Structure 1
Amino acid sequence: MTLRTKLPAEQVLMVLLSIALCLALGAAAWAAPSDETMRFGEQMYRKGLLPSGAPIKAYVSGDVPVDGTSFTCVSCHLRSGLGSIEGEVITLPTNGRILYQPRRPFIPGSEFVPSYSNYAKYLPERPAYTDDSLAALILTGIDPTGRSVLKVMPRYDLGDKDMAIMISYLKSLSDQPPPGVTKEEIRFATVIVEGTDPVAVQSMLAPLQFSIDRKNSLATAAVKNHRVARMGYNMLGDLSALKFSLSRWTLKGAPATWLSQLEEYYRKEPVFALLGGISEGEWEPVHRFCEEKKIPNLFPVVDYPVLSDTDWYTLYFSRGVRQEGEAAARYLHGMAELFKGRPVLQLYRAGRKGQALAAGFRESWKTAGGGAITEVRLPANEKLTAKKVRQLVNRKNPAALVLWDDAASLPALSGLAAQKKRPGLVLASGTYLGKALWTIPEELRALLYLTYPYRLPQEDSRFDVNVKRVLQGRPLELYEQRIVRQSYLTGEVLGKALMMMRGEYYRDYLYDVIGMMSDMHYPLYERVSFGPGQRYASKGSYIVQLGSGRNPVLERRSEWVIP
């Protein structure tokens, strides 16, 4: 016997709503691209390779065949799919969220924000794309209005299945807000390795916190004063009302445990990006965490950045101390013809810093086509003596002596200046010597050359006013001035990038925008330059000598040397 029970109307409605919700969720799950589709779509978009691994067939100027790997989507539309601006050339967004909306000569809701309206008003209007019209654009170079784009974009020969993969991937680009971003707030964090010098930590934190507080003061003032709100909105758009937060993630114990600590911090408090960060040694676990989670890490203060041609998510100030070794090799190679067959002698101290400098010199010298290098590794606890230096010089007769060691080695070099058989120059690291470079003995100064990867101090002092402002009246002498300047740069680049993003707060777009920035002049570095995919902001070093007298200054002996 079957019982039929009549349900109340409210329960019937709830059942129907539940069924509808399940159907909607099922449809959404069915429509979402699979991991395989995303992987193949990314391969096509970034590398110009079909799922089979073969290059996509492309055509420029209508019918000239080219290899799709030379004309990838990412090279113009960038990793985020939100397009690029180079001078007066605008490459339009290619992500589905924007393509599938009609384009007007304004951005709705942002008509009175100059940075938004100036971007939009010169773009041609068009209707919203559909899957069919987008496929037609990719295949034929004709947009939904009938306009040809073949003068600025190749057309691509894709079959139906490959086209479906590409369109699914474009729909996924910059589609959903990333973790750490809400309508009210953008959350950031900075990573501090326990045991780092407290003065160095505060030197890194103070400028970052100033940038956060300055932004939040504008948002707070806008709530209380409608004139401030209108001014802020006209300057920054929706960014003016957003608040920022900066959390401290402290890593403890062995580096092998850091990944789990980072994952726990991130689980409790997802952030949009990591700002700065500091470690006196290891950083690779943080770097790998950012790659795995696709979290930008903007300018950590480290001596040993992870060097990679493919990693994306950490932007470093430079290639670290290794960059000095590379610049030294480039400088010496420029005068190699004067060596008359005499070798280069490289002495380096055992330990991470000495070995990094030596490796940079060795590999750059080899790449430049330099001759053989005679190398001597100095044990960690063995004092370098004048006798040992004299013996090595007499035996090897080097044209140049490259020494990667700290200030304790300076007394061992003093006798070289008076020695008849000596190298033409001695080259050392200014940062390895540290503050002791100002105490180089007078008799050694004409012989000793130094790598110096920063703007000269007497020329950088003009930025002191800017740097002191972020310390809010606290004496600059209480901080590590190099780190304060680095952290100031981080805050400035972040602020400029967020303004250029026009409300599109996506992680990949943050780096796309930084890559579009023109060369900038900030404290400490002679030039901060970016470009698509570049991950090291300062790329060279000066070769300098310490001048004579009681109050010497550093004197340039080269232009900016880029390895």
Structure 2
Amino acid sequence: MKRLKKRGLALLLATVVICCTSLSASPVSAEVSPSPAPAVASQETLRLGERIYREGILPSGKPLRVSIKGDSAVPGMTFACVSCHLRSGLGAFEEGVYTPPTNGAKLFKPRPVLHRGLELSAQPPLRPAYTDESLIEVLRTGSDPKGRVLSEVMPRYLLDDQDARVLVAYLRSLSAQFSPGVSDTAIRFATVISEDIPPEKSTAMLAAFDAYFDSRNTQVRAVADPRSKGSYRRMAEKMFGSKELATRTTSLSRWILKGPPETWRSQLEAYNGKEPVFALLGGMVSGQWQPVHQFCEENGIPCLFPNTDVPVISDTDWYTLYASKGYYQEGEGAARYLNNTADLPGEHPVVQVVRDSPEAAALAAGFQQTWQGLGHKAPVTVSLPRGKVLDGDFLQRLLASHTTAVLVIWDDAAAIPALEWLARHDGRPAMVFLSARYLGESVWSLKKSVRDFTYLTYPYSFFPTAGMGKPQLQGDAQKTLRQADIPLKNEVEMITSQTNAVTKLLTSLLIELKGNYYRDNLLDVTGTMMEEQHPVYGQISFAAGHRYASRGCYIVQLSPGDTPELVKKSGWEIQ
């Protein structure tokens, strides 16, 4: 199980597999009658149960404790249910190992015998429906409803009555009903756009979405048309992955945000209250994505690949899946490249000049946090106020105050004249770093005199993208890129390509849901997907809990010729 191997949970895997197999696979001769439906749990009870399930923390704040063979009582955080049964409670099947569901829709019903996905109702169920009491019993003692004692490698959870019932109450609610935005015949999505986005950009994104949803719904209607030939319906069902999915239409609402960002939250709540959706797709707003990110986090709504260069950087948030860390990722790449450069000149501190803008702030944060995390002293950071020109006088005062071999300039194209001043300055730093994304197309205006000491962070895949054709891997042999071949050439084309990447991902995810339309399950199955190809970032990868699909950056320079090209100076600096 690749995901668990990465976590180093070999013991957990062995434990849970034996536990789950024992709980669910043995035939029984009679079904145990379920207990009367319990009263609806309070929100506080569900919150506490969720914490046990996801974090292994009891309502008291103490860690869940378990008893396993050879140890009478050990901390149980490693054995939190989410580790194998996932956030949705639907379990997983990886590398031949099956972890069954523990969600409310499955756990408290008899589990039928399945053959090729079909229920064999004539046979006794694999197990009876759990009751609160029988589930608590098996968690504590390892004894199932028929009195069988499960393997000793299964942990026995040391839960008192109150904590046990809190956990069971949460399990009853977990993925018990399909998430909002899903009906018997349709799945509703939305995309978020702020009204000040240039029309050519929003039009490019919406046109790509409309083409996808129109095509898909045309096929769904054709499957439902009684005049369609059986062979066509079977072919369409195979393409959709299941007959069930082939009968559901999909729609995309447009949530247009107006006014300043501090008013967006109430607008998002109003849209969602009027027309709940299963997930948000793509989207673009002016400035930072943070207001939308926070809305999704607090409402439990997945958001797939928003078009933003300033995403929220978090190790714990769950609901937004970004294509990359944006500008922050470039700052990380510059820090790692400097750290890995054996002949880094001098012992003086790195100096970074930071423009007063969200883009520059993200670049600086990525650089500083990574640089210090690698064991270096914090860089000297000099702010560049909005409207202030970065010119020779500014740099002269800066270099007179700070001796440095490395100058990092997080500014847009306005910084280019300052580079030309540095080229004429005898005491200039040996290396100067800037962001190719932040410079935009102006990167090609760098004069020959500055190219030998100017290094650029480049977060895109190193492959020809004219027409946004099939990408190559980041590790390919190609060393240079022409101006005509890079994503910086055409921003509208990039938006179209990234939107197509969202719809490609959505197609795969809908199939992998297997009819289990729960929001957490959408993100659970994302974490089990194989590597994919992205038209802008190249090879992207997913893993359980990862929220940034692209996690690398190149360091490049411009070639000295009259027709400059980007030249690799590093490999793909993985974050």
TM-score by length of 2: 0.83
Say whether the 8 Å CA contact 2:552–2:573 is kept in structure 1: yes
Say which of 476, 497, 516 aligns to 1:485: 497
Shift of 1:199: 1.6
Say which of 401, 405, 412 aligns to 1:399: 405
Letter aligned with residue 327 of structure 1: G
**Distance of 1:271 and 1:533 partners within structure 2:** 22
**Distance of 1:157 and 1:107 partners within structure 2:** 37
| CA offsets 1:452-509 (integer angstroms, 9 cap, x no match) | 1110252x4585269xxxxxxxxx9986122222212211111111111110000011
Say whether the 8 Å CA contact 2:288–2:358 is kept in structure 1: no
**Distance of 2:413 and 2:380 partners within structure 1:** 22
- Say whether 1:303 aligns with 2:309: yes
1:264-343 → structure 2 map (5 Å cutoff): 264-335=270-341, 338-343=344-349
Shift of 1:94: 0.7
| CA offsets 1:273-305 (integer angstroms, 9 cap, x no match) | 111110121432222222232211112112222
1:114-263 → structure 2 map (5 Å cutoff): 125-144=126-145, 150=151, 153-224=154-225, 225=228, 226-234=230-238, 235-263=241-269
Letter aligned with residue 184 of structure 1: T
Say whether the 8 Å CA contact 1:80–1:173 is kept in structure 2: yes
Say whether the 8 Å CA contact 1:296–1:314 is kept in structure 2: yes
1:38-53 → structure 2 map (5 Å cutoff): 38-53=46-61
**Distance of 2:109 and 2:210 partners within structure 1:** 39
Q: Does 231-240 or 476-485 show the bigger shift?
A: 476-485
Give the corresponding residue for 1:529.
541
| CA offsets 1:219-243 (integer angstroms, 9 cap, x no match) | 0111231333223334323111100
Say which of 545, 552, 556 aligns to 2:564: 552
Letter aligned with residue 161 of structure 2: D
| CA offsets 1:131-183 (integer angstroms, 9 cap, x no match) | 34322321233445677664775331222222222222111111012211001
SS in 2 for 1:177: coil
Letter aligned with residue 215 of structure 2: R
Q: Is the alpha carbon distance of 1:305 and 1:31 closer, same or farther for their aligned partners in structure 2, counting shifts above 3 Å?
A: same
Shift of 1:529: 2.1
Say whether the 8 Å CA contact 2:512–2:525 is kept in structure 1: yes
Q: Is the alpha carbon distance of 1:509 and 1:430 closer, same or farther for their aligned partners in structure 2, counting shifts above 3 Å?
A: same
Say which of 379, 394, 399 aligns to 1:373: 379
- Say whether 1:498 aligns with 2:499: no
**Distance of 1:489 and 1:52 partners within structure 2:** 45
Letter aligned with residue 540 of structure 1: G
**Distance of 1:444 and 1:286 partners within structure 2:** 40
Letter aligned with residue 47 of structure 2: R
Say whether the 8 Å CA contact 1:455–1:525 is kept in structure 2: yes
Q: Is the alpha carbon distance of 1:146 and 1:111 closer, same or farther for their aligned partners in structure 2, counting shifts above 3 Å?
A: same
Give the corresponding residue for 2:482.
none
Percent identity for Structure 1 against Structure 2: 46
Give the corresponding residue for 2:44.
36
C-alpha RMSD over aligned residues: 2.7
1:317-466 → structure 2 map (5 Å cutoff): 317-335=323-341, 338-390=344-396, 392-393=398-399, 396-417=402-423, 419-458=425-464, 460-461=465-466, 463-464=468-469
Say whether the 8 Å CA contact 1:323–1:357 is kept in structure 2: yes
**Distance of 2:152 and 2:450 partners within structure 1:** 62
Letter aligned with residue 82 of structure 1: L
Letter aligned with residue 352 of structure 1: P
SS in 1 for 2:242: helix
Letter aligned with residue 275 of structure 1: L
Give the corresponding residue for 1:17.
none
Letter aligned with residue 233 of structure 2: A
Shift of 1:105: 4.5
Q: Is the alpha carbon distance of 1:481 and 1:103 closer, same or farther for their aligned partners in structure 2, counting shifts above 3 Å?
A: same
SS in 1 for 2:295: helix
Say whether the 8 Å CA contact 1:237–1:502 is kept in structure 2: no
Give the corresponding residue for 2:74.
66
**Distance of 1:207 and 1:366 partners within structure 2:** 42
**Distance of 1:528 and 1:152 partners within structure 2:** 37
SS in 1 for 2:255: strand
**Distance of 2:91 and 2:150 partners within structure 1:** 15
| CA offsets 1:81-129 (integer angstroms, 9 cap, x no match) | 1112333322211113212333345279x549xxxx9xxxxxx943433
Say whether the 8 Å CA contact 1:389–1:413 is kept in structure 2: no
Shift of 1:244: 0.3
Say whether the 8 Å CA contact 2:470–2:535 is kept in structure 1: no
Q: Does 166-175 or 302-311 show the bigger shift?
A: 302-311
Q: Is the alpha carbon distance of 1:147 and 1:57 closer, same or farther for their aligned partners in structure 2, counting shifts above 3 Å?
A: same
**Distance of 1:255 and 1:397 partners within structure 2:** 40
Q: Does 239-248 or 313-322 show the bigger shift?
A: 313-322
**Distance of 2:235 and 2:416 partners within structure 1:** 58
Shift of 1:393: 3.8
Give the corresponding residue for 1:19.
none
> Which structure: greater helix fraction?
1
Say whether the 8 Å CA contact 2:283–2:306 is kept in structure 1: yes
Letter aligned with residue 32 of structure 1: V
Q: Is the alpha carbon distance of 1:105 and 1:542 closer, same or farther for their aligned partners in structure 2, counting shifts above 3 Å?
A: farther
Shift of 1:307: 2.5
Letter aligned with residue 182 of structure 1: S
Q: Is the alpha carbon distance of 1:160 and 1:325 closer, same or farther for their aligned partners in structure 2, counting shifts above 3 Å?
A: same
Letter aligned with residue 141 of structure 2: T
Say which of 102, 106, 129 aligns to 2:110: 102
Give the corresponding residue for 1:79.
87
Q: How many residues align?
A: 515
- Say whether 1:509 aligns with 2:533: no
Say whether the 8 Å CA contact 2:338–2:344 is kept in structure 1: no
Say whether the 8 Å CA contact 2:212–2:503 is kept in structure 1: yes
TM-score by length of 1: 0.84
**Distance of 1:146 and 1:410 partners within structure 2:** 77
**Distance of 2:95 and 2:391 partners within structure 1:** 57
**Distance of 2:397 and 2:164 partners within structure 1:** 70
Q: Is the alpha carbon distance of 1:502 and 1:252 closer, same or farther for their aligned partners in structure 2, counting shifts above 3 Å?
A: same
SS in 1 for 2:532: coil
Letter aligned with residue 186 of structure 1: I
Q: Is the alpha carbon distance of 1:172 and 1:359 closer, same or farther for their aligned partners in structure 2, counting shifts above 3 Å?
A: same
Q: Does 283-292 or 267-276 show the bigger shift?
A: 283-292
**Distance of 2:569 and 2:98 partners within structure 1:** 41
